[in-house]
Amino acid sequence: MNALANPLPDEAPALVDSRFTVPGMRCAGCIAKIERGLGEIDGVDAARVNFSAKRVAVRHVARVDDEALISALEHLGFEAQPVAANPLAEDDREAKRLFRALAVAGFGMMNIMLLSVSVWSGAGGVTRELFHLLSALIALPVVAYSGRPFFASAAMALRYRRTNMDVPISIGVLLATGMSFYEVLTGGEHAYFDGAVMLLFFLLAGRSLDAMMRNRTRAGIGALLSRMGKSAAIVQEDGSTQRIVAENLFPGMTMIVAAGEALAADGTVVSGKGALDNAMLTGESTPEAVAPGDTVHAGAIALEGPLTVEITATQGDTALAEIARLMDEAGQSRSRYVRIADRASRLYAPAVHTLAVLAFIGWMIAGAGWHQSLVIAIAVLIITCPCAMGLAVPAAQVVASGALIKKGLLVKDGTALERLAEVDIALFDKTGTLTLGEPRPDISHLDARAKSVALALAQASSHPLSRGLTASLRAEGVKPATLADISEIKGEGIVATWDNSSVALRRNEIGGPGMSTTLHVGGLAHPILFSDALRPDAKEAIDTLARMGVCSQVISGDRPGAVAKVVEELNLEGFAGVGPEEKLERLEALRSEGHFPLMVGDGLNDGPALAAAHASIAPGTASDISQQAADAVFIGERLAPVATAVSVARDTMRIVRQNFTFAIGYNVLAVPLALAGMVTPLIAAIAMSLSSLVVVANSLRLARSAK
């Protein structure tokens, strides 16, 4: 969600973006507190929290530096650090700390429970006092170590006169431990070390699972980022080369990329020919031929070379960094369900503290004595922890986003899942969306021998028709023939020698409409026609959407003839020659009829429609404007991620509703029982912890939705 803050004056200086890691965020209430708090700072235009990545993105004027923003976050009760240059660098230190604390809490819980079972079985006198003392010796260091994540967060909040979810948790744990220690010193009958340690164990289990899910969500991109070039051989003024780390590269430098080397920056090929593995960016494993003038991206691996590349973008300006930013922007903005959780969590701390105080006072007035009244107040503090409510939305969104990433779809905005779940009609652009947007040949009439020669010729050229021919032949598993004296003649085609005879790919000898080339093998001419083919699973994806109740239409600016062919093949209703304004009018008309339209497009002229639609998706090959305007981006040649996104989004909202229902039901049942003195701190710890685990476990079912 965005917290739009103080309006800036008309002549405000340019805004800059800063990103911070805030590991102490625990729930939707923390999101609202951070965004609202930062938004109140003079010079901050907007603050957006990405709960899944534990990041905060702040847009502000330059005079507000990082130190001021970190200080502001500390006053809100959260520690923060600037995000490293690598925007998706995986910092798992917090996860390791949580796992260590969980292991210590688990060890302490098992041993204390063994002693407690003996006490519950009737051990009394000296034996009970001894077991209580042993429990204290185990529990005190365990609470001190495993409780640090909660105590530190609570102390930070209280230092600046704030409160957060960890404050009542810490109060409950410390009160239960302190009271139990008092029982040990005075030889009392009841000690609650088991409840305090079990509470810590289950809370840490929930937070460890949350950390695991976040790491899993970023694992795919993180693995690809690890392949990005860490340095480049830069050409010096005297013609020599010097290897420079990626952080010190700048646009305008010239780098030499050897075969087998990963590119460290975006650039344009100046000289040399070769092939790149662009699987990192496109998911397509087929090597892509490159030649002078072609654009290459950081992270691609040179399969052939060397290539001389002029750097055009480095570090945060590369295409790979843009994908990282798309990931980083996957927050919970504008979500109706998150707003509900925000309001609930905002009222939580004062409500819980008030309830605990009222329970203590009420039972004191009723004559229960300070000991029993304090036990009941502790149980109220523990059992009312809204962990389940806070996790209801983020846990489901994190798991769903991770599942969709594996299917080739990056969700830019967490609320996109909410809107995608509601769509009931899909509008598709034609070229580049339903079709591949690049020429693909009809090679059904070529025999194996001709295909082998055609591949050997085509892969030596960077011409768009050659690249399309190469991709189609490689998709069929064709192996290239061994050619000699291969050369490309500008304006004519590619010629070579094979088995002592001349072979060639020459352009457009058959004439007629459309794109074509001619393959010459052994004196025979094989005409090859090209067309902008449909995506291989376009029909299947459209049918899948129809089965989900989402009807599809084609809305394109292309000629009626071109659109009619696609419409007929996919059996859809179509509109041709539609401009950007007419697309907006079409969307508005659908909305007025009560529909929730999904727009899928790639061109510059689709940008307004993508921004105006109820939900929108763009292919990874779309223009920058279209990708920025869309809610999600899919990569690869298949259209299936569009249908998968709608399916997973509906499953996500179903899981969110289930989580909310469970969290509300839990509190409705548990709070009266605790106020009535029917719940001990141990039972309260088990009930609250299990409620969080139930929400997390229920959300994890979404991981199977995209399979």
| CB atoms near residue 573 (< 10 Å) | 10
Please report the pLDDT score of residue 87 as a whole number. 45
582 and 554, same domain (yes or no): yes
Q: Is 666 helix (H, G, I), strand (E, B) or coil?
A: helix
Last residue of a domain, which of 483, 507, 533?
533
Q: Are 373 and 672 in contact (CB under 8 A)?
A: no
Q: Which of 627, 633, 576, 587 has the alpha carbon at shortest distance from 609? A: 587
CA distance 631 to 416: 6
CA distance 36 to 31: 8
* 541: pLDDT strictly greater than 80: yes
On the question of a cis peptide bond just before residue 306, with omega within 30 degrees of 0, the verdict is: yes
CA distance 537 to 637: 9
CA distance 72 to 55: 15
CA distance 295 to 309: 9
Judge whether 690 lies within some domain. Answer: no
- Once rounded to an integer, what is the mean pLDDT over residues 692-703? 82
pLDDT band, very low/low/confident/very high, at 333 (cuts 50, 70, 90): very low
pLDDT band, very low/low/confident/very high, at 119 (cuts 50, 70, 90): confident
CA distance 144 to 148: 6
Helix extents (H) in 513-639: 538-547, 560-570, 580-592, 607-612, 624-629
525 and 570, same domain (yes or no): no
Please report the pLDDT score of residue 671 as a whole number. 83
pLDDT band, very low/low/confident/very high, at 331 (cuts 50, 70, 90): very low
What is the pairing mode between strands 435-441 and 288-290?
Answer: unpaired
Q: What is the DSSP code string of 249-272? A: --TT-EEEE-TTPBPSSEEEEEE-
Domain with residue 39: its CATH number is: 3.30.70.100
CA distance 127 to 135: 12
260 and 320, same domain (yes or no): yes
Judge whether 669 lies within some domain. Answer: no
Indicate the burial class of 628 (C-beta count within 10 angstroms; 0-12, 13-18, 19 or more).
middle
Q: Are 355 and 671 in contact (CB under 8 A)?
A: yes
Last residue of a domain, which of 600, 615, 635?
635
| In the chain, % of residues over pLDDT 90 | 9
Beta bridge pairs of residue 615:
598
**Angle subtended at Cα 175 by Cα 140 and Cα 347, rounded to the nearest 5 degrees:** 130
The catalytic residue positions are: 429
Q: Which of 277, 253, 123, 143 has the alpha carbon at shortest distance from 189? A: 123
pLDDT band, very low/low/confident/very high, at 2 (cuts 50, 70, 90): very low
Judge whether 650 lies within some domain. Answer: no
DSSP H or E run through 484: strand 484-489
* 3: pLDDT strictly greater than 80: no
561 and 500, same domain (yes or no): no
Across 218-222, 353-357, 654-658, which has the greatest mean pLDDT?
A: 654-658
From residue 177, give the alpha-carbon distance in Å to each of 33, 118, 171, 199, 477.
30, 20, 10, 11, 68
CA distance 470 to 528: 13
**Average of per-residue pLDDT values in the chain:** 78
From residue 476, give the alpha-carbon distance in Å to each of 470, 480, 507, 519, 521.
10, 12, 23, 18, 20
CA distance 599 to 619: 11
For 652, what's the count of Cα atoms within 13 Å in the CB-facing half-sphere?
A: 31
CA distance 65 to 69: 7
The domain in which residue 77 lies consists of: 15-84
Judge whether 215 lies within some domain. Answer: no
| CB atoms near residue 605 (< 10 Å) | 19
17: which residues sit within 8 A by CB, 6+ positions away?
57, 58, 59
Q: Which amino acid is at 237?
A: E
114: which residues sit within 8 A by CB, 6+ positions away?
none
* 281: pLDDT strictly greater than 80: no
492 and 627, same domain (yes or no): no
Q: Is 528 helix (H, G, I), strand (E, B) or coil?
A: strand
Judge whether 55 lies within some domain. Answer: yes
554 and 490, same domain (yes or no): no
312 and 288, same domain (yes or no): yes
Please report the pLDDT score of residue 4 as a whole number. 40
Judge whether 586 lies within some domain. Answer: yes
Q: Report the number of distinct structural domains present in the chain.
A: 4
Judge whether 294 lies within some domain. Answer: yes
Judge whether 665 lies within some domain. Answer: no
CA distance 631 to 331: 12
Last residue of a domain, which of 533, 567, 596?
533
- pLDDT tens, 21-33? 787 776 656 777 7
User: Could you say which DSSP state residue 84 is in?
Assistant: P
Indicate the burial class of 482 (C-beta count within 10 angstroms; 0-12, 13-18, 19 or more).
exposed
Domain with residue 292: its CATH number is: 2.70.150.10
Domain with residue 608: its CATH number is: 3.40.50.1000
- Once rounded to an integer, what is the mean pLDDT over residues 645-654? 91
* 188: pLDDT strictly greater than 90: no
**Which of 118-122, 334-338, 442-446, 617-621 has the lowest average pLDDT?**
334-338
CA distance 599 to 587: 9
- pLDDT tens, 211-243? 766 665 555 455 555 556 778 888 888 778 888
- pLDDT tens, 414-467? 678 888 999 999 999 887 788 887 777 888 888 888 888 888 888 887 666 787
547 and 620, same domain (yes or no): yes
Domain with residue 516: its CATH number is: 3.40.1110.10
184: which residues sit within 8 A by CB, 6+ positions away?
129, 132, 133, 135, 136, 191
608 and 523, same domain (yes or no): no
Please report the pLDDT score of residue 560 as a whole number. 81
528 and 566, same domain (yes or no): no
CA distance 519 to 639: 31
**Which of 201-205, 219-223, 489-493, 633-637 has the lowest average pLDDT?**
219-223
Contacts of residues 275-281 at CB distance under 8 Å and 24 or more positions apart, as own/partner, are: 275/302, 275/303, 275/304, 275/459, 276/300, 276/301, 276/302, 276/303, 277/301, 277/303, 280/224, 280/227, 280/228, 280/320, 281/319, 281/320, 281/323, 281/620, 281/635
Q: Is 629 helix (H, G, I), strand (E, B) or coil?
A: helix
**Joined tokens for residue 221:** 């991109």
542 and 629, same domain (yes or no): yes
**Joined tokens for residue 19:** 């990103």
**Joined tokens for residue 592:** 């007025």
- Once rounded to an integer, what is the mean pLDDT over residues 322-326? 58
Strand order in the sheet with 266-271: 241-245, 231-235, 254-257, 307-313, 266-271, 295-296
| In the chain, % of residues over pLDDT 70 | 80
Region label for 454, one of left (φ > 0), alpha (ψ between -120 and 50) or beta (otherwise): alpha
Looking at per-residue pLDDT, the higher value among 336 and 105 belongs to 105
Strand blocks (E) in 186-318:
231-235, 241-245, 254-257, 266-271, 274-277, 288-290, 295-296, 301-302, 307-313
CA distance 72 to 354: 28
pLDDT band, very low/low/confident/very high, at 525 (cuts 50, 70, 90): confident
Region label for 342, one of left (φ > 0), alpha (ψ between -120 and 50) or beta (otherwise): alpha
497 and 458, same domain (yes or no): yes
